[in-house]
Amino acid sequence: MDLFLEPERGRPLAEQLYQQLRRGIAEGRLRPGDRLVPSRQLAGELGVSRHTVTTAYGRLVAEGYAEGRAGGGSVVAPTSMLPQRPTGRSAALRPARRFGDWTPLFPARPPDHRFDLRPGQPERTLFPIAAWRRQVSAAIGSDCAVYGDPAGEIRLRRVIARWVARSRSVVADEDTVVITAGAQHAASLAAQVLLEPGDVVAVEEPGWWPARRLFAALGATVVGVPVDEQGLVVDLLPPGARIVYVTPSHQFPLGMTMSMPRRGALLRWAQDNDAAIFEDDYDTQFRYVDRPIEPLQALDRFGRVIYLGSFSKTLSPAVRLGFAVVPPPLAGPVAALRQLIDWHPPTSTQAALAGFIEAGLLDEHLRRTRRVYAERHRILAEALCGPLGRHLTAHIPGAGLHVAALLRDGLGEESVIQAALERGLLLMGLRRCYHGHPLEHGLVLAFSSISTTDLPPALRILGGVLGGYA
Ligand SMILES: Cc1ncc(COP(=O)(O)O)c(C=O)c1O
């Protein structure tokens, strides 16, 4: 904590020092257990006598703000002795109405559990820790001492442009790739650049609800558009939508692939209605049975598609890197906005990822994880076609890391989720993926956060829970 003493202020220096430290403790800048700087050192740094510092420390100790330690030195006292911090309830600190009483969608720590079948995370043990550590250590160089490019490091942009062109036929070059902190961040940047307040954004219904919330946070009017077995029902898009947000490779959460005719219809609709399409290709690298269809971005002849890519599933959500491939007119404004917000993701992490992809390690990692996930996909599919099929109806997609299944017999998802939690199994319901009122109850069953050996017992628990309602 910075301290500023003013000899000419007329108040004794020890008093000024005491007041500043006390305020630092009361306001939480100095936290319980923090060591106070040794008196000799602080006296030297501030250019005052040691007596001034020991007088201030002595008063903090006498009033319960600090405690002396047996081996010498003082630490900030436990919270119970400290005055309450102001709660900041003034009207000026009320969040804007559209944020209501929001709290984060995903809790930092899940409740105690044995098994986790919720979507969203790749399995920790599959992370290629040794290879990644080598790349990170090689990446820490002189570039780490200066601001980087707000569009992302050129080396990583080049590598990603080549990688998405090769693996997904996406048309990209270093000038149209923007490195972001994940796909959601990419959507946020592109939407901020495109939207005027009140603009309409169409999202899939059901769909990836954090995107829906993001667009609402940006002041957009969000409209849910139904999906059928071919993907988004283009005929039901609201006229005037400025952005259409879709997951065509593997619809989240229902899992269908958008058909080729639908892709054509969506691109034409966007052209006729002067809309942009956000193509979220969040887990496309995991396909087990058939070949992926060309992305909208590659089919787009009008320059209307913004392609959103993520390394959260292919590598790790903790690395927090993703990217957007944007039509050329948007690259400048997106990078400019990025610079205003947080400039760029850590350059060393970007360099590590560039090295990782260049060395072929991402492809190698994907081949390995695809095999592991393919086996789990098979186990889950068999269970859903077998014992679980009495209670759950699922159309099993040939891709992705989860399967959505509808609950039969009028079972309520909340009670199933609660009963499973009591048996140590974490589940996610389908209803939260709906923008409007969901008609059906269901589960989104993922096999990414659970090991292959744990998957069968977890599914048996689920069978037991569902059987308990029969
Ligand atoms: C459909 C969908 N889109 C986007 C994301 C977010 O990706 P990122 O972590 O790159 O922001 C996820 C994460 O699970 C997802 O499921």
List, for residues 21-66, the tens digit of each pLDDT value.
999 998 888 999 899 999 999 999 999 999 999 999 999 999 889 9
Spatial distance between the Cα atoms of 95 and 25, rounded to a whole number of angstroms:
27
- H helices present in 198-248, as ranges: 209-217
Q: Tell me what the mean pLDDT of segment 324-351 comes to.
A: 96
According to CATH, where is 1.10.10.10 located in the chain?
A: 7-81
Strands (E), 321-401: 322-325, 392-394
Q: How far is the CA of 354 from the centre of ligand 1 (A)?
A: 21
Return d(Cα 218, Cα 92) in angstroms, integer. Answer: 20
Evaluate the omega torsion of the peptide bond into residue 328 and state whether it is cis, within 30 degrees of 0. Answer: no
Lowest mean pLDDT among 39-43, 119-123, 144-148, 213-217: 119-123
Dihedral angle, C-alpha 8, 12, 18, 21, nearest 10 °: 10
Ligand 1 binding pocket mutation candidate from 215, 280, 314, 353 (most atoms within 8 A of CB): 280
212: phi then psi, degrees, rounded to nearest 5? -60, -45
Q: What is the CATH number of domain 127-363?
A: 3.40.640.10
pLDDT at 324: 98
- Work out which ligand 1 atom sits closest to the CA atom of 252: 1
Centre a 10 Å sphere on the Cβ of residue 85 and count the other Cβ atoms it contains.
Answer: 9
Say if CB 397 and CB 257 are below 8 A apart. Answer: yes
Instruction: Dump the DSSP string for 34-74.
Output: PBPPPHHHHHHHHTS-HHHHHHHHHHHHHTTSEEE-TTS-E
CA of 185 to the centre of ligand 1 (A): 9
* Residue 296 CA, ligand 1 centroid: distance in Å: 18
Which atom of ligand 1 lies nearest, measured to the CA of 185? 11
Nearest of 281, 86, 268 to residue 170 by alpha carbon: 281
CA dist list (Å): 229 to 250, 251, 263, 285:
11, 10, 13, 21
Distance 211 CA to ligand 1 centre (A): 9
Give the ligand 1 atom nearest the CA of 321: 10
What CATH number has the domain spanning 7-81? 1.10.10.10
Range with the largest mean pLDDT of 79-83, 89-93, 388-392 = 388-392
How many A from CA of 184 to the centre of ligand 1?
A: 6
Mean pLDDT (whole number) for 360-376: 96
**Who wins on pLDDT, 183 or 289?**
183
* Tokens encoding 436: 């409007």
- Asked whether the predicted pLDDT for residue 470 surpasses 70, the reply is no
Closest residue by CA, ligand 1 atom 13: 120
What contacts 90, CB < 8 A, 6 or more positions away?
none
Q: Which atom of ligand 1 is nearest to the CA of 309?
A: 10
Q: What pLDDT score does 78 carry?
A: 84
> Where residue 73 falls among pLDDT bands split at 50, 70, 90?
confident
Residue range(s) of every CATH 3.40.640.10 domain in the chain: 127-363
> What's the 293 CA to ligand 1 centre distance in angstroms?
20
The per-residue pLDDT for 372 is: 96
**Buried-exposed string 355-387: b where 16+ CB fall within 10 A, e elsewhere:** bbbbeebbbebbeebbebbeebbeebbebbeeb
Q: At what angle do helices 154-168 and 347-358 cross, to 10 degrees?
A: 40
- 12-21, 183-192, 285-294: lowest mean pLDDT where? 285-294
Cβ 178 vs Cβ 204: under 8 Å:
no
The mean per-residue pLDDT over the stretch 390-413 comes to 92
For domain 115-123+370-467, the CATH class is: alpha beta
CA 260 to chain centre: 30
pLDDT digits (tens, 9 = 90+) for 121-141: 888 899 999 999 999 999 998
Spacing, Cα 387 to ligand 1 middle (Å) = 31
Task: Provide the CA 352 distance to its chain's centre, in angstroms.
Answer: 20
Q: Which three-class secondary structure state does DSSP give residue 131?
A: helix
Distance between CA atoms of 263 and 255, rounded to whole angstroms?
16
| DSSP SS3 for 379 | helix
Candidate from 63-77, 228-242, 325-339, 450-464 with smallest mean pLDDT: 63-77
Q: What is residue 87's predicted lDDT score, i.e. its pLDDT? A: 63
- Within 10 Å of residue 98's Cβ, how many Cβ atoms? 11
- Determine the residue of 278, 281, 310 to mutate for testing ligand 1's pocket, defined as the one with the most ligand atoms within 8 A of the Cβ atom: 310
Q: Write down the H helix ranges in 32-174.
A: 39-46, 50-62, 129-139, 154-168
Dist. CA 10 → ligand 1 center (Å): 58
State the Cα–Cα distance between residues 440 and 430, nearest whole angstrom. 8
Is the predicted pLDDT of residue 159 greater than 60, yes or no? yes
In this prediction, residues 416-443 reach a mean pLDDT of: 94
Which tokens is 175 given? 């000038």
Residue 322 Cα: closest atom of ligand 1: 10
257, 251 Cβ separation under 8 angstroms: yes
Protein residue with its CA nearest to atom 7 in ligand 1: 183
> How much is the average pLDDT of 17-21?
93
Tell how far the Cα of 314 is from the centroid of ligand 1, in angstroms: 11
Ligand 1 center to residue 278 CA distance, Å? 13
Distance from the alpha carbon of residue 465 to the mean position of ligand 1, in angstroms:
29
CA 207-211-214 angle, to 5 degrees, is 145
* Residue 245 CA, ligand 1 centroid: distance in Å: 13
Helix (H) or strand (E) holding 463, with range, is helix 455-467
Report which residue type is found at 292: P
Average pLDDT, the chain: 93
Q: What is the pLDDT of residue 180?
A: 98
What is the reported pLDDT for 350?
Answer: 97
Rounded Cα distance, 92 and 97, in Å? 12
Distance (angstroms) between ligand 1 centre and the Cα of 400 equals 12
pLDDT at 7 over 70: yes
| pLDDT band (50, 70, 90) for residue 101 | confident
| Residue type present at position 235 | D
- Lowest-pLDDT range of 11-15, 115-119, 172-176, 365-369: 11-15
Tell how strand 243-246 and strand 200-205 pair up. parallel
> Which of 312, 315, 319, 353 to probe ligand 1 with, by most ligand atoms within 8 A of CB?
312
Ligand 1 atom, smallest distance to 280 CA: 3
> What was the pLDDT predicted at 334?
98
10 pLDDT higher than 90: no
Tokens 């068999």: give the residue.
Answer: 382
- Quote the pLDDT of residue 150: 98
* Confidence (pLDDT) at 337: 98
Whether residue 338 contacts residue 189, with contact meaning beta carbons closer than 8 Å, is answered with yes
* Atom from ligand 1 closest to the CA of residue 182: 10
Model confidence pLDDT, tens digit, residues 84-95: 666 666 778 888
Which DSSP category does 259 fall into? P
Q: Report residues whose beta carbon is within 6 angstroms of any ligand 1 atom.
A: 120, 182-184, 208, 247, 252, 280, 282, 310, 312, 317, 322
Q: Which of 208, 246, 316 is the best mutation target for the ligand 1 pocket, counting ligand atoms within 8 Å of the beta carbon and taking the most?
A: 208
| pLDDT over threshold 60, residue 68 | yes
- For residue 458, count other CB atoms closer than 10 A to its CB: 26
Is 462 a residue whose pLDDT tops 90? Answer: yes
Q: Which segments of the chain belong to CATH 3.90.1150.10? A: 115-123+370-467
| Residue nearest ligand 1's atom 3 by CA | 282
CB atoms within 10 A of CB 73: 15
